[in-house]
Chain A
Amino acid sequence: MALTTFPPPNPSPVQIHRLPQYTYIDALRWLPQLSAFTRHILLATFDSDTSTPSIQILTFTPTQNPINTPSLTHQSSLSTPSRITSLKIAPSPVNPSKPLIAASTFSGSLLFYSADLVNGSLNLEFSVPEKGFHLGAVLGIDVSDNGSECVTVENGRVNLVNLAEKGSVRRVFDSNGLVSYSTVKWASPVEFVTGGLGFGLHWWDQRKPGGPVVQFKGNWTQGTTSGIVHSVDIQWSRKHTCLAGGSSGTVFAWDIRWQQQPIILSGAWAGGGPANSISESEVWEVQYDNYRHSSNTGNVSSSKILPAMICSEDGILAVIEQGEEPVELLAEPCAINSFDIDKENPSDVICSLEWESIAILMRPQDKRQ
């Protein structure tokens, strides 16, 4: 018998499941995981047949056999007064099976729910009505770990909502419409970043009230056209590096220590022309991707930007890493409006497709962990 050396087994490919929902998905998130077998997904949906917006909890049961479609079953649903613009989830400090859900609406209000993962129910805890709070849609929210809530709107108001005090609101800034923000992300318990028009990012520090502490404007576009930042992400361990994604396939990182020099990771302006760009249209969401990173944390230099996942209007879901070819995970014929990486299980990603469906991606788990 001849001895043959077998080639190493191919890395098992990414499992992709597309699940039609027959309703438009406005936002979606993974809920914290209670056990390895049942996972929960939170959806903010809009049923166009009945014109009812709602939020729903779905149970996701993965299958061992990649050929079979995993099952997704409805657990509970609550209708909301207006369509949801943004969803964020904060772990409950008291009870891990009851995370807190914050949802902002088109009409300008804010809703807080608690989810009971054991019996899969949703409960409205309290809400902040639109009157005197925001003018127009609330475009971005983020929940900080210390329990306060940051909000921004189209009209340039930045408000903080205190969760411990059941929704007492503090006005941080009102630009009177001179500046608009589209997204927000906490960088530390007292600092946060907002993104908005003109590829602009503002750094805020609650210890220095009165306005943003540092401002950044992307001016690499050579004055012809500019764009909007749709999404930002920050890791608290490297809070000085802010990841941002926006128009024209632009993804860049802004280090507040090098204030006016962004690192462009992708986009039509990335030097080498469109070839360097994985997408040419709006990048709707960016998140740092911990997945590949988990095996080689040790040798990543602190100057290198961590890998980032993006989704775009032209249907791309991809991972971008500084100085490397982007890895395309999905290329859909319709827009991918949002996605979420499971925090406890970064190999799993859900994304919402414009054509009333969601896609679940399960990347092979890293055995070395």
Chain B
Amino acid sequence: MPGVTSNSGDSSLSIVPHFSDSQKPRIYPLRYHGLIPPLARVSISWARGSTLRVSLIQSDAISEKQPGGEVVEVKLTNMEGGEITEAQWRRIAYGSVTPFALLQSQKNLMDSSHYSKDWWEHVMEYSKEINSLLGNSKSSGNLVIEDPKAVLKKEEEPTSLKAAWELMEIFYADKQSETCIPERLLDWLADYDCLFSRTQPTVHAKLVDFQRELVTLQVVENDPKYWEAMSSALAVGWLDIVVKLLHLHGSYQFDQLGNRETENGLVEAVAVLISKMPRMRPDLPAEKLGECYQTKPEFMKAWEKWRAQITKLDCSAFWLQCDHHQTREGLKNMLQIMLGNTSILSNVTYHWIELFISHFLYIRPFTVGLENMCNLAQKCMHLKPISNHHKLMGLIIGILEENTEVVLAECSRSFGPWMITHALELLTAGSTQAEILLHEEQSKLGGINIEELHRLVYAQVLSSHALTWNIAPIYLTSCMKQGMGLLENLLYRQPVQNHQVLLKSIEICRLNELDIVSSNMMKISGVRNWKHGQKGSAVFWLQQAQDEVRLNRIAKQLFDFVGKSVSDESFKQWEGLIELLGTESKTAGGLKFLNIYRDFRRSLLQVHGGTTSDAAQKAVESLVSLMKNPSTPQRFWLPLLYDSLKLLNWQEHPLLNVSQTHLLLNKLQELSMARLRPDFTNVDLPPEALNSVRLALANNLGRAILEE
């Protein structure tokens, strides 16, 4: 593993986020069922991922009925969890496999013309797919009757992960709306301002507070909070909310319309101006307000006209006729916001990013280029210093400062290996500088580049979980240098005793053309099955691996087993195994013997059943081929011949011809010689067996010679 050893103590350098909460020890219960305390021994080792394997061993004094011990696994989890639970992380991991793989294959197709001009379209598609995984689908259209006093829509809390992804998309992937980044940031803030509310006052928090009070308020326009809420919302461009709030103004009520006509006219005029605000963006969602302009000159024209209208209204004589003090002041204040009054904007916004957005909206609508944005952001931060640093802030600053290293570090530190692996695709598409940095081979990383490093780390995280290990190969195979080697490692570490895992591993080998690995896994599985007495499975897997050496070796042991049951009825058990062996000697190896032996036994049984000499003839053929076959173990020769005595002494005519008899006699001779050797194993047969076979053969030979 190209390990990057994290400096102990400085968590900002570690790649996998690590939380040290050393305050109180956490207790994990052991769930075992068959054991009775006290336990004699306990041993602990690491299992997969952050799981401990605890082996509990009983003392010897326990009765035989009890198991001797038990192995349990304990998962060490971060119980509190983060924003995103483990199950949700897995869902994101599953969902991002297809978009990632698709993008990689598109990249391979493009080969050298990596930066063809429509590449970003692929990246954008990828980004949208990934983005859709990060939030739960919005349940829209559920509310048929809208509550007029519900200013803020109640939606589930968005995650910072999604916010971070969208930021990356805005700045790196979306080339189409490069000119309207301010508008996209405005939308972004509308969705995610609530994330900052937890630690800090925000416009969103202000609106939430006001929403709570609104239900009990009788005359809204008398409450200064009403005007404050509207000013704040206006400053950050939430026009629909402002207009909705304005329409709650008391002057709209029928009984008041008569005597507050001018006041109502002013309120409505401001509302109309707000909803007519020119926006430089291709389109707007249905519920949002404003008028869209696509090109800069058109927008400029509209912008100037709009501001002229505001100024005109500001200087209007109607204000003098407005008796309601709060309304007059409030509306005037709003007009100042729209005219871009810096100090008021600063007063009605809370977070620096809110001020930042308000500047785009009302002061510098044409801000383009990261450098300008960065200068503005620094100015805003200076005006609104923040005590509590939200993790998104670091990312935003890194992006605006065009500092790829910072963006990488923030992604990785705050959002983990999934984020960095997938967001790299956006980074490399969006910035040449980042692309060079990420694809440069680093000698301190063992010659791999940063992109590969992050993929390897993410693959490692995936591999550490039993449900995600099998998607790790997708990421490993996208790593040019270390990927395949680590994939082999990963496969070898899978528990072959699990049937499903074994088959899955073999499938992964097939897809990646790792035939040797697959054959090795089959061998491992075969040997394991053999050791556990699963002889059939063992033979099957060794056959699949075409491992003749091991097949021959286990053949020897199998024959010991057969040797005891040659003539008894339990041979039925063997039928299934022999079926499995098939007829091809290549895959059967030394077990080919069993196959012929089965035929021999079948015919012999028929002979004993007293049927025709046809069966006897067949039995003899099998016998001869058995004796000819080099795989037939020597110690079976005599038992086989002894079993065939009836054939050798066949009454009607000799069943074996001269040459066949000679063959058998030779084998017998060989056997007699072998008996002298020290390693000869004696077979459990009556002592006269050898002599009776020899006699029968001699007898048969004589009759055969006469017949020929």
Contact = CB atoms under 8 A, between A and B. Distances in A.
A333 to B, nearest CB: 5
Contacts of A215: 575-576, 579
Nearest to A221: B582
A155 B499 CA distance: 13
B540 interface: yes
Given A51-B73, A179-B580, A219-B582, A156 B572 contact: no
Interface stretch (A17-25, A32-40, A161-169, A285-293): A17-25
A179 B536 contact: yes
A227 B359 CA distance: 69
A24 B85 CA distance: 15
Contact of B544 (A23, A49, A226): A226
A306 to B, nearest CB: 27
Contacts of A50: 75
Residue among A137, A197, A210, A212 with max Cβ neighbours from chain B (10 Å): A197
A225 B90 CA distance: 35
A369 interface: no
A197 B536 contact: yes
Contact of B507 (A155, A182, A210, A281): A281
Interface string A170-186: 00000111111010000
A307 interface: no
Nearest to B534: A177
Interface in B573-610: 573-577, 579-580, 582-584, 586-587
Interface residues of A, number: 50
Contacts of B543: 226
Contact of A200 (B503, B507, B532, B576): B576
A348 interface: no
B504 interface: yes
A154 B499 contact: yes
A211 B91 contact: no
B471 to A, nearest CB: 8
Interface in B538-592: 540, 543-544, 546, 572-577, 579-580, 582-584, 586-587
B261 interface: no
Contact of A223 (B75, B499, B577, B582): B582
Nearest to B137: A69
B465 interface: yes
A119 interface: no
Contacts of B573: 175-176, 178-179, 211
SS class, residues of chain B in contact with chain A = helix
B522 to A, nearest CB: 10
Interface string B69-92: 000010101000000011110110
Given A202-B576, A282-B507, A177 B535 contact: yes
Interface string B84-122: 011110110010011000000000000000000000000
Contact of B534 (A24, A155, A200, A335): A155
A223 B576 CA distance: 17
A202 to B, nearest CB: 7
Interface string A332-351: 01110000000000000000
B91 A333 contact: no
Contact of A156 (B94, B504, B507, B536): B536
A64 interface: no
A49 B580 contact: no
B533 interface: yes
B574 A23 contact: no
B577 A179 contact: yes
A22 B536 contact: no
Contacts of B94: 334, 355-356
B467 A333 contact: no
B663 interface: no
Residue among B94, B572, B586 with max Cβ neighbours from chain A (10 Å): B94
Contacts of B77: 49
Nearest to A230: B503
A154 B543 CA distance: 18
A81 interface: yes
B536 A175 contact: yes
Given A139-B499, A335-B504, 20 more contacts: A20-B91, A22-B88, A23-B87, A49-B75, A49-B85, A49-B86, A154-B537, A155-B534, A175-B573, A175-B576, A177-B535, A178-B536, A179-B577, A180-B534, A212-B576, A217-B582, A223-B583, A314-B507, A333-B97, A334-B97
Interface of A: 20, 22-24, 48-51, 81, 136-137, 139, 154-156, 175-180, 182, 196-198, 200, 202, 210-212, 215, 217, 219, 223-226, 228, 247, 280-282, 313-314, 333-335, 354-356
27 contacts: A22-B85, A22-B90, A23-B87, A50-B75, A176-B535, A176-B573, A177-B534, A177-B535, A178-B535, A178-B576, A179-B580, A180-B536, A180-B537, A196-B536, A198-B540, A198-B580, A200-B579, A219-B583, A223-B583, A223-B584, A225-B544, A226-B544, A228-B540, A247-B503, A282-B507, A335-B504, A355-B90
